[in-house]
Structure 1
Amino acid sequence: MNLQIHNYNTFRRHARLFLEPSIHHKWKMDQQAMFQQLQPQGKIALSGDMHADSPGHSAKYCSYTLMHLESNTILDIQLVQSKEVGGSAHMEKEGLRRGLDLLESNQLHVDYILTDRHTQVQKFLRERDVKQYYDVWHLEKGLSKKLEKLSRNKDCRVLRKWLLSIKNHIYWSIMSSKEGPEKVAKWKSLVSHIQNVHINDDPLFPRCAHPDRVSRDPSKWLKPGTMVLYKVEKLLMNKRVLRDVEKLSHQHKTSALESFHSVIQRFAPKNVVFPFIGMLCRVYLAAMHFNENADREQAMTFEDTAVYTTMYPKSKKGQPTKKKCMAGYVGDLMRLLFMEVFDDPATFVEELRKVPISVELSAQFDRPAKEDVIV
């Protein structure tokens, strides 16, 4: 069409001078406003999780997010490069450490934090004397994968009929009890259920609340002494699982945090490579978008009738439809860009340059002469 458009280098130059400084400045201002609002509340409850920039175990960037559980707002995002910490396996712990340091420097103290069962995070929070709870979904996801793999064995195929029931029992045993020992007692009753036994030895939970059901097909129950029951019991009743069950959260979940990770995908897709500052500004934009639309109400018709969306498969039934997403932060960014940044970009650029960026790995090598590399 013979259209004249700017090339990529021109776009990057404008992004470095105007766009990225505007995004960084607005996020820092919004973040300080959230900190000042939460400071009078005393201790706060958080959820934290990592989002990698690429699938697999070879991520270059890790964005660690801290979310305020009461308001479902993103308080902080720390972007970590794998080369800063010696590998992608150590990025989650480093992102959490930086986030907690920032909160403490702003007089925000953590009551407890809800995370997954990452072993490095467990040790770090234990040494830092921060109370930690585990998310039920992460535990259920890990156990479901192991049970699914176990059910593929020839002598364990009967377990396939129990996968959904075991998953539902995990949520029921956690959400219906508040104290750690009671959770473990209800958890242990799971092995009794799959044997059609509803009387337990634990005094905290001696008998199931539901009526006994006699099945006409005894073959679907797991029989004592069989290999499949031994493997299931070994998987569900090992010491680490029982120890973690006591610390499972019965009140909050990380589902809102997982939703935020899907928002990051819209601003920074995993199949595109970004520079560090570009990636940082994109996760900041995702946080602004999520915070503005975190508590959207259900959409209503003109007759004040709630709107639902049909979900498939049918087991999910109808889901509430939220109101349309708002983008007020875009207008604020444009006003900041045209009214302030364009007039004096040096101040905002200097503020952005204070963000620490690790040196590229290629910097340790001398750049060869052009004549030497031409074959």
Structure 2
Amino acid sequence: MEKEGLKRSLALLEERGVTMESIVRDPQIQKFLRESSITHYYDVFHMEKGLSKKLLKISQNKGCEKLTKWLRSIKNHMYWTTASSTSVPERTWSSILNHVLDIHTHDDPAFPQCLHPIRTSTDRSKWLTAGTAVFCRLEKALTNKRVMKDVVKLSPPYQTSSLEAFHSLIIHFAPNNVVFPFLRMLCRLYLAVMHFNENTARPQANSDGEPLFRLQFPKWKKGECTAKPVKEQATFSYVDEIMDLFEKPDQKEVIERYATRYSQWPV
């Protein structure tokens, strides 16, 4: 069904004169996109989430507890690799293996050294040691054939987060626990699209010149606290534009037709 939906969407865009050069989505239906000559990029969050689960599982094994201290850094390294590398991201990605050993110069001419300032760490216990079980398992997880192939396909500029936000918005206009006829469902989807397009680029709210944030505890972060920017209040200008399409009744005529259902005279 997902593949069929993509086929119909691409066919509709082609009919409207839109040429699709690339698409960002999960790794499914790669063959169809390759045959359609469409460049297929992967969403960074979904790959990072899957890899983080594997690393967390490794860190829970006996003798691999040190890896826990590096989980967040490895996540950040994946995002940084995607954003900063344009030619050989797989080489930048694999440099993390030297970094966890406290080695910040590399033999690869494409990425000869780490770009962060060299500091003397006060916690020497966090560094891994080459040849140990934890390092070997980490190396296998980060540089296996599947991961190295997928790193090259990570999308630098665009992600699927905005699409997921739109899907969440649809639930407000068309709740999953309510069954709507086709026409009503279509109208609600139109409203969701108009609301999303009008409010998706809202600026961050501020108080006395200071940007506002709120604290959240996402389930996928296992209780870790994170800050999320507070956006300005949503606007509904699209409602006024819709109402302008209809002929408004004359207020004076409506008032003249007004009559109470109850007698105004005493009984």
TM range (shorter): 0.7 to 0.9
Secondary structure of the 2:98 match is helix
Q: 1:208 aligns with which of 97, 114, 128?
A: 114
Residue of structure 1 in register with 2:238 after alignment: 329
Residue of structure 2 in register with 1:361 after alignment: none
TM-score, with length taken from structure 1: 0.57
Q: 1:255 aligns with which of 161, 164, 171?
A: 161
> What is the RMSD computed on CA atoms of the aligned residues?
2.6
Q: Aligned partners of 2:60, 2:2: CA distance in 1, in Å?
A: 33
Relative contact order (alpha carbons < 8 A, sep ≥ 6): 1 or 2 greater? 1
Deviation sequence 1:242-263 (CA, Å, 0-9, x none) = 1121121222222222221221
Residue of structure 2 in register with 1:161 after alignment: 69
Check if 1:292 corresponds to 2:201: no
Q: CA deviation at 1:102?
A: 0.4
Contact 1:223 1:229 in 2 (8 A): yes
Q: CA deviation at 1:324?
A: 2.1
Q: 2:96 aligns with which of 190, 193, 209?
A: 190
Secondary structure of the 1:132 match is strand
Q: Aligned partners of 1:318, 1:136: CA distance in 2, in Å?
A: 19
Secondary structure of the 2:92 match is helix
Contact 1:200 1:206 in 2 (8 A): yes
Check if 1:136 corresponds to 2:41: no
Deviation sequence 1:283-307 (CA, Å, 0-9, x none) = 3322121012222234467xxx546
Q: CA deviation at 1:332?
A: 4.4
Check if 1:310 corresponds to 2:219: no
Aligned positions of 1:171-190 closer than 5 A: 171-179=79-87, 181=88, 183-190=89-96
Aligned positions of 1:343-362 closer than 5 A: none
Q: CA deviation at 1:315?
A: 6.7
Q: Max radius of gyration: which structure? A: 2
Unaligned runs of 5+ in 1: 1-90, 340-375
Secondary structure of the 1:197 match is coil
Q: Aligned partners of 1:282, 1:151: CA distance in 2, in Å?
A: 46
Aligned CA distance change for structure 1 residues 155 and 93 (closer, same or farther; 3 Å)? farther
Q: Aligned partners of 2:60, 2:180: CA distance in 1, in Å?
A: 43
Contact 2:204 2:212 in 1 (8 A): no
Q: CA deviation at 1:127?
A: 0.9
Aligned positions of 1:223-262 closer than 5 A: 223-262=129-168
Q: CA deviation at 1:173?
A: 1.6
Q: What letter is aligned with 2:96? A: L
Q: CA deviation at 1:164?
A: 0.8
Secondary structure of the 2:24 match is strand
